[in-house]
Amino acid sequence: MPCVRPFLLSCGFLLPVLAGCQSNPLTPQGQAQLQKLQQDQQTLIAENRRLVDERVKLDRDNQEHSKLLAQSQQLVQQRENELSLVQNQLREVTAQLAQVNSQKTDAENQAKALLASSRRHGGATITANNSLRANLPQFNLAGVQSRVEGDLIRITISADQLFQAGTATLLPEAPNLIDNIAAEIARRYGDQIVGIEGHTDSANGQWSSAGGPSLATGHQVSVAQAGAVYEQIAGRGRLRASQMFVVGFGPNHPLYSNADPAGRAANRRVELVIYPDRAGG
């Protein structure tokens, strides 16, 4: 029949077919074909809607994935920046540690050289004397203690009683305190070798010497403090320069924990160490 012919299944072609059928009644066979075309059209419309919905969903998912990807890339960049910062800090700490170790080695070498030089000074000869412990002095002075350590006698003076904080500058009352202790050592152990040891706490503060260059480490300030005590004793002639030597240990030999202020204060000290050896000459 003229109204039934091959055509594309779309609404645009179906309307002319319906219009032609109204003027030309269809046979039962034509009506069946028309009904099938209408069903196919509804199927295509439904499928088209489904595809549109699917595309909208895919677009939405794609946007969400793009957002998540951007966030992930931003997080990765942030972690890379943090890692770079930590690596830089690690390099700086490593360099500082190497510098501290170098300064420590220099200080220990300097102490050894001072010890060897002081024992050679004036051609002094050393002879043993093991009777020190029976003659342990007792000082009734604030911040001063004495104790026996093996064959040695140690007289400990709080650095806070001697020096301005963080410096090797003697307090106004310090010379008199040092003179009193040196006089007692000279009276009891006038011929013994005497070591003057400087000790600090573990604080990483800024050390300074009044009017002089800054002291960068505890080792340097401990040597400077021990040297100041040495100069005071030698300058007053209480003990001979040939029987004394100076060494600075920095924070390497604490008496107490540095975790609290009281422990740190006790660790800041100068020790006059009396050896069982006589310095002749």
Q: What is the pLDDT of residues 160-210, one digit of tens each?
A: 999 998 899 999 999 999 999 999 999 988 889 999 999 999 875 555 544
Does position 112 have pLDDT exceeding 70, yes or no? Answer: no
Q: Residue 142 burial by CB count (10 A; 0-12/13-18/19+): exposed, middle or buried? A: exposed
Q: What is the mean pLDDT of residues 126-146?
A: 63
Arithmetic mean of pLDDT, 262-269: 93
Question: How far is Cα 173 from Cα 100, in angstroms, rounded to an integer?
Answer: 34
In terms of Cα–Cα distance, which of 220, 216, 200 is closest to 268?
Answer: 200
H helix runs in the chain, sequence order = 11-23, 28-120, 174-189, 218-236, 261-267
What's the CA gap between 146 and 143, in Å, rounded?
10
The confidence band for 224, taking pLDDT boundaries of 50, 70 and 90, is very high
272 pLDDT above the threshold of 70: yes
Residue pair 24/2 in contact by the 8 Å Cβ criterion: yes
Six-digit token pair at 274?
Answer: 């009396």
pLDDT higher at 117 or 93: 93
Domain boundaries, the chain: 1-104, 124-279
SS3 of 2-69: CCCCCCCCCHHHHHHHHHHHHHCCCCHHHHHHHHHHHHHHHHHHHHHHHHHHHHHHHHHHHHHHHHHH
One-letter amino acid for residue 150 of the chain? G
* Longest Cα separation, the chain: 147
Neighbour tally for 79: CB within 10 Å: 10
What's the confidence (pLDDT) of residue 265? 92
Higher pLDDT, 115 or 181: 181
With respect to CATH, is domain 124-279 assigned 3.30.1330.60?
A: yes
Angle at 274 between CA 272 and CA 275, to 5 degrees: 140
Quote the CA–CA distance of 59 and 53 in Å, as a whole number.
10
Question: Between these two residues, 48 and 130, which has the higher pLDDT value?
Answer: 48
Q: Which residue has the tokens 């055509």?
A: 7
Average pLDDT over residues 18-34: 70
Averaged pLDDT for residues 246-266: 92
Task: Check residues 124 and 105 and name the one with the higher pLDDT.
Answer: 105
DSSP-assigned letter for residue 100: H
Average pLDDT in the chain? 79
Task: Name the band, by pLDDT with cuts 50, 70 and 90, for residue 125.
Answer: very low
CA dist 221 and 201 (Å) reads 11
Distances (CA, A) of 135 to 102, 128, 188, 258: 41, 16, 7, 32
The percentage of the chain sitting over the pLDDT mark of 70, rounded to a whole number, equals 73
